[in-house]
């Protein structure tokens, strides 16, 4: 049996309440019902998710050091969450920018991606995938090249409300 999909991620954070607020305000994650009484932990669910939870947060306190991953040790670089439309990607980009948490925007040809950092400096990606029916040879060949993301151009090309990932990560 092969891996089917990522069910959830778990992060160690300095302050659970601060992280719950951040992931709620920027990505729409909400605490799952019945778990509010846990001390120093939270389990969050993404909008429209069918998972029990998508993100677990465990508080380790304000004295915790930053993660050295990628700067001097191996470790996870980032997680990527997929959104349905370019309009939603744009909305999240605005929310991240308002909080000073937007750290990058890249056109990977087949994927349009924003990069953010949470209050603990942990990086994540939010992306929209070009639907299979709209992939052209030029787009597929371009995925090894990185370019700055121009969301206005992408919305004009694909439509702001076109459902992404269809035939790729979402069944056709």
d(CA 65, CA 63): 6
Strands 111-117 and 147-148: unpaired
- Domain 9-59 and domain 79-158, same fold? Reply is yes
More confident residue, 139 or 2: 139
Closest listed residue to residue 88, CA positions, set 5, 168, 169, 162: 162
pLDDT at 4 over 80: no
Q: Are 27 and 74 in contact (CB under 8 A)?
A: no
The 30-31 sheet, strands edge to edge: 9-13, 55-59, 41-45, 30-31
pTM: 0.92
Which residues does 18 contact at the CB level (< 8 Å), separation at least 6?
119
Please, which pLDDT band fits residue 3 given cuts at 50, 70 and 90?
A: confident
CA dihedral 69, 8, 15, 39 (to 10 degrees): -140
Distance of CA 50 to CAs 22, 27, 42, 56, 58, Å? 21, 16, 18, 15, 22
**Domain 9-59 falls in which CATH fold?**
2,3-Dihydroxybiphenyl 1,2-Dioxygenase; domain 1 (3.10.180)
d(CA 151, CA 145): 17
Domain boundaries, the chain: 9-59, 79-158
Q: Give me 31's structure tokens.
A: 């605490």
**Domain 79-158 falls in which CATH fold?**
2,3-Dihydroxybiphenyl 1,2-Dioxygenase; domain 1 (3.10.180)
pLDDT at 1 (0 to 100): 63
Tens digits of residue pLDDT in 6-29: 889 999 999 999 999 999 999 999
DSSP string, 81-143: EE-S-HHHHHHHHHHHHHTT-EEEEEE-SSEEEEEEE-TT--EEEEEEEPPGGG--HHHHHGG
pLDDT at 63 (0 to 100): 93
Tens digits of residue pLDDT in 75-132: 999 999 999 999 999 999 999 999 999 999 999 999 999 999 999 999 999 999 999 9
3-state DSSP assignment of residue 171: coil
pLDDT at 144 (0 to 100): 85
Q: Give me 101's structure tokens.
A: 């948490």
Tens digits of residue pLDDT in 134-153: 999 999 998 888 999 999 99
């Amino acid at each position: 049996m092969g891996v089917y999909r990522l069910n959830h991620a778990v992060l160690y954070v300095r302050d659970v309440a601060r992280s719950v607020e951040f992931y709620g305000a920027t990505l729409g994650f909400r605490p799952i019902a019945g778990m509010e009484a846990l001390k120093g932990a939270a389990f969050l669910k993404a909008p429209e998710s069918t998972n029990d939870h998508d993100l677990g947060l465990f508080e380790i306190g304000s004295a915790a050091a930053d993660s050295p991953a990628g700067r001097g040790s191996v470790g996870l670089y980032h997680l990527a969450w997929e959104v349905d439309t370019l309009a939603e990607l744009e909305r999240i980009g605005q929310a991240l920018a308002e909080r000073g948490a937007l750290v990058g925007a890249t056109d990977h040809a087949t994927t349009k991606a924003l990069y953010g950092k949470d209050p603990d400096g942990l990086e994540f990606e939010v992306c929209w995938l070009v639907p299979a029916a709209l992939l052209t040879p030029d787009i597929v060949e371009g995925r090894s090249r990185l370019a700055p993301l121009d969301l206005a151009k992408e919305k004009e090309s694909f439509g702001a409300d076109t459902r992404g990932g269809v035939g790729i990560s979402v069944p056709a």
